[in-house]
Amino acid sequence: MSNLNVVAVIKAKPGSEDVIQGALSSLVTPTLAEAGCISYELYRSASDPTTFVTIEQWQSQSDLDAHMQTPHIAAALEAGADAFDGAPGIHPLHPLQPITG
């Protein structure tokens, strides 16, 4: 079974970028320590400073599901509650061509 690749797109309300950056940055270390987490990278868009993206790789959908229920996810959502511009877009990805290499 192949690993699960995920992209999450998170929008901050204009003027709230630092709040969201802090909330999301607090997720990196504990997420990397989770069972089933292969990689977890946080980015901020160079063309739209209100847009943040995580690029993640998990061993399985159940590992991603468990991640979404962790206390550090709940804390980050609470810390940025009024600063998020809508719900995060979580996108598990299915390859359209065979993965090589």
Domains of the chain by start residue, with CATH:
4-93 (3.30.70.100)
List CB contacts of 6: < 8 A, sequence separation 6 or more. 54, 55, 56, 57, 58, 64, 90, 91, 92, 93
Alpha carbon distance 21, 42 (integer Å): 9
pLDDT digits (tens, 9 = 90+) for 26-79: 999 999 999 999 999 999 999 999 999 999 999 999 999 999 999 999 999 999
pTM (two decimals):
0.91
